Structure 1
Amino acid sequence: MTGALTTALIVGLHAGLALYPPRPRHSMPFNLQFAFGWWVNEYPVLGLYWLLSGTTAVLELRTDLPVWWAAVVIILLDLVVLARLGLRMRLARGALSAALVEAFGSAAAPSYTRPVWWRILLVPFVSWRPDVRRIANQHYGPGRGRRIDLYVARSTVRPQLGQSGSGGTGAPVLLYLHSGGFRIGSKALGAHPLLYRLAAQGWVVASANYRLGRDYSEQLADTRAALAWLRARAGDHGGDPGRVFLAGGSAGAHLASTVALTGADVAGVIGLYGYYGGVGTGPGPRSPLECLTPDAPPFLIVHGRVDPLVLHEDVSAFAEKLRAVSRAPVACALLPGTHHNFDFFHSPRFSAVMDAVERFAELSRPAEPSAAAEFSRHVVPSSGV
């Protein structure tokens, strides 16, 4: 009986912190409200499974003991909160549509697809699919930290080496950079539902590690090296090196934005729950805010309104400053009831985000398939993967 009550209280604590997380005074890389509330907010079904597995046997006792009734009441309250967490995921679609329409025009709203419910309910952590081939742990530079995973459709007809696809007829290409506050994290975490989904549709997709705990300028150098590596090999897998999108979560969004705003020839940037403030001290850009330019590529910025790590006001301020300078569209979607790291699991919310990403790629102006593609082919040999 006591065990069931304890389970109900613990699940209730996590669910309550997910529903109404305390907001920090400023953006930060980690806090306890994030650790307690993130997972159940983005995957409330797991909270339901935990609650039922720890309380079902006790509920079947049906005694008149006060502790039993206390457990029943708390369990019912937990169920209500978990249901609310699940239902508010539907609000993401409206926010995403509104952001794209505001940036690109009235016809820009995505056509939303039905979430893959069997994955959401049974294997939310598994993104593998048989029609996608993962080429793991390729080196894009010296050292253990510079590795990249490539995702391509198994049905792709691989052209002969040397046919880079720079004529603009290949599939889109995407490079994703993981989260972790610039000090932790791995390409094994984050956005895998998106990576596999795009690869299955013919995109050439990659997720890269970068050296952790190093100076920000070195991490920028790693990002540029990974981008050059991917661009050089995209044509070998049917991709268009002239249509590369940069994406990232949190710290990865910071790196992607700064690289895109400092001369990288990319078709667009996708920032998920990104941090865009300053990083450390020293020469060179320390924030995408220092690099705003009229020549910026299109941006899709997606952030949670209840993110307990990075304040959505900071993200909105970055989007507004970029929008005031850039000639390209800037779409900023603040998703109701959304926390940090919302791209880790299969969920109805992230399904809507993936639909918006695909629509953003359709709407964005393709980069000219020109000098950058040819330059990267000579800088990084296209043989190998």
Structure 2
Amino acid sequence: MSSVPIGYLIPSLLLAWCTYYVVAPRNWPRMFNSLGFYFGVINELPFLALFWLFGETWLAFSQGDVSSLVGWLAFGLTILAVAGLLVIIHWGLQAAPVVNRGLDDNLGQRWRDSIDAKIARRLHNRFTFTALLGPFFVRRHDVKRIANIQYGDAGVHHLLDIYRHKSLPTNRPVLIHFHGGAMVSGSKNRQALPLLYRLASQGWVCVSANYRLSPAATFPDQLIDAKKVIAWIREYGKQYGANPDSIFVAGSSSGAQLAALAALTSNDPKLQPGFENVDTSVSAAINLYGDYDWLDTNGTWTDSGRDRTGFLASIMKSSPAEDREAWEQASPLTRIRKDAPPFFVIHGDRDTSLPVQDAHHFAQKLRSISQSPVVYAELPGAEHNLDLFHSIRNEAVMDGIDAFAAWVCTNNKHNSDRS
């Protein structure tokens, strides 16, 4: 038996399995869910997988290696993987209509008339060539990254990066992004890089910040750090071209939880030790596949929050019975307020790490109380970590964020209230 068909079989088997993991019903044991990042990464890179399979198949046929049993088995797996990848691509193409519908349903009639026509036109694109780039060419030649700026006294955990256009524009809106990692891991230069570079290329000042992590840190240390970044922008942002009166907070996974809490606890002196009098209000919050439902607004456990009790205790360093108030403060649902800024909540309907029902419930509760718009987009076929690469879905999400932010900058009363 030739070794070449084996070389064809192994990648075909691996890609077929990863594709099956993405498209199969969501009833995996917890062990497989924890490996979802590795198996599910193909969900945002279907074209890369297709190119690989086509190349391997062409090579196998051109060398006559499909005549063996192993070769035909590999070819059969390839056909199944391609079918699954076409399903994944179909799901990705549904992202733009879903994002459009979320914006149209919540920003009012003719909202597009108030934003730049070019940004509005991009919303109609279900597919752009950039989606083919995947993990490549994330950086942009017209963007300068200023790395490892100190914003506090906690060493590496109090560092931030600034992304800005090389032409050095001034008085530009700011996006602050907080990374995920369940507040126990992660760093500022791994998630949402396509979004940071894209907005910076358009003239925004983008900030990606580290924050203290458990087990060394105990909540609300992470939230205090998030608010400290906002305070730092208010004090020093103009030196980097920022408009301190137009600050957006964003985050991925647990970073989205921090962004939501920061937006919902503006100017709370108990969460701003040493900078109690600094204005930490923001113009809007953008939440990507976030963690929200620890406790409900009536103080009772949600189903998913109850499932994560043991894990959450490692961050809180207490049980709910020992420190109920601290646990309630860590749940975005319990911090919802009428004067909350606009929110854009984005989540995948196949997220195995944080259930989509939690995001939907949070958006509904927020919409029922807040006087500001709450845009919700539930993306078909999307898993966790949907913002890591260029993809059909992520391009549509970034188009939506771009349009939402443009609308907020033009219409948001939170900006005018501070001016």
Aligned match of 1:68: 71
> 1:132, 1:200 within 8 Å by CA — same for their partners in 2?
yes
> 1:125, 1:344 within 8 Å by CA — same for their partners in 2?
no
Which digits, 9 at most, give the CA deviation of each residue in 1:270-289, with x for residues without a partner? 00011112343444411111
Per-residue deviation, 1:24? 6.7
Aligned match of 1:377: none
Q: How does 1:88-237 map to 2 (within 5 A)?
A: 88-108=91-111, 110-112=120-122, 117=129, 119-122=130-133, 124-142=135-153, 143-157=155-169, 170-213=171-214, 214-237=217-240
Which digits, 9 at most, give the CA deviation of each residue in 1:292-322, with x for residues without a partner? 1001000000110111111111110011111
Provide closer, same or farther for how the CA distance between residues 5 and 90 of structure 1 changes in structure 2, counting only shifts above 3 A.
same
> 2:143, 2:163 within 8 Å by CA — same for their partners in 1?
yes
Aligned match of 1:367: 414
Give the aligned residue type for 2:165. Answer: A
Per-residue deviation, 1:37? 3.2
Aligned match of 1:270: 286
Aligned match of 1:320: 364
Aligned match of 1:248: 251
TM-score by length of 1: 0.86
SS in 2 for 1:133: strand
CA distance in 2, matches of 1:322, 1:30: 32
CA distance in 2, matches of 1:48, 1:68: 18
Per-residue deviation, 1:127? 1.8
Provide closer, same or farther for how the CA distance between residues 121 and 355 of structure 1 changes in structure 2, counting only shifts above 3 A.
closer
CA distance in 1, matches of 2:111, 2:36: 33
Q: Percent identity?
A: 35
CA distance in 2, matches of 1:34, 1:231: 38
Provide closer, same or farther for how the CA distance between residues 65 and 130 of structure 1 changes in structure 2, counting only shifts above 3 A.
closer
CA distance in 1, matches of 2:364, 2:31: 23
Aligned match of 1:286: 330
**CA RMSD between the two structures:** 2.4
CA distance in 1, matches of 2:242, 2:32: 37
Q: How does 1:17-32 map to 2 (within 5 A)?
A: 17-20=21-24, 22-23=26-27, 31-32=33-34
CA distance in 2, matches of 1:314, 1:304: 11
CA distance in 1, matches of 2:164, 2:14: 42
Aligned match of 1:5: 9
CA distance in 1, matches of 2:292, 2:148: 28
The list of structure 1 runs, each at least 4 consecutive aligned residues, that deviate by more than 6 angstroms after superposition, is: none
> 2:37, 2:385 within 8 Å by CA — same for their partners in 1?
no
Provide closer, same or farther for how the CA distance between residues 370 and 64 of structure 1 changes in structure 2, counting only shifts above 3 A.
closer
CA distance in 2, matches of 1:231, 1:366: 19
Aligned match of 1:164: none
List runs of 5+ in structure 1 lacking aligned partners.
159-169, 374-385
Is 274-283 or 309-318 further displaced after alignment? 274-283
> 1:29, 1:309 within 8 Å by CA — same for their partners in 2?
no
Provide closer, same or farther for how the CA distance between residues 224 and 63 of structure 1 changes in structure 2, counting only shifts above 3 A.
closer
CA distance in 1, matches of 2:184, 2:31: 10
SS in 2 for 1:331: strand
Which digits, 9 at most, give the CA deviation of each residue in 1:336-357, with x for residues without a partner? 1111111100112111111111
Give the aligned residue type for 1:220. Answer: L
List runs of 5+ in structure 2 lacking aligned partners.
113-119, 267-279, 295-311
Give the structure with the higher percent helix: 2
Aligned match of 1:380: none
SS in 2 for 1:294: coil
Provide closer, same or farther for how the CA distance between residues 135 and 311 of structure 1 changes in structure 2, counting only shifts above 3 A.
same
Say how many residue pairs are matched: 358
> 1:140, 1:146 within 8 Å by CA — same for their partners in 2?
yes
Provide closer, same or farther for how the CA distance between residues 29 and 184 of structure 1 changes in structure 2, counting only shifts above 3 A.
farther
Q: How does 1:298-317 map to 2 (within 5 A)?
A: 298-317=342-361
SS in 2 for 1:111: helix
Per-residue deviation, 1:232? 2.0
Which digits, 9 at most, give the CA deviation of each residue in 1:34-84, with x for residues without a partner? 134321001112322443455543333165433332222221121121122
Provide closer, same or farther for how the CA distance between residues 108 and 312 of structure 1 changes in structure 2, counting only shifts above 3 A.
farther
> 1:21, 1:33 within 8 Å by CA — same for their partners in 2?
no
SS in 1 for 2:186: coil
> 2:50, 2:85 within 8 Å by CA — same for their partners in 1?
yes
Residue 14 (1) aligns with residue 18 (2): yes
Per-residue deviation, 1:208? 0.4
Is 108-117 or 214-223 further displaced after alignment? 108-117
Provide closer, same or farther for how the CA distance between residues 75 and 193 of structure 1 changes in structure 2, counting only shifts above 3 A.
same
> 1:33, 1:308 within 8 Å by CA — same for their partners in 2?
no
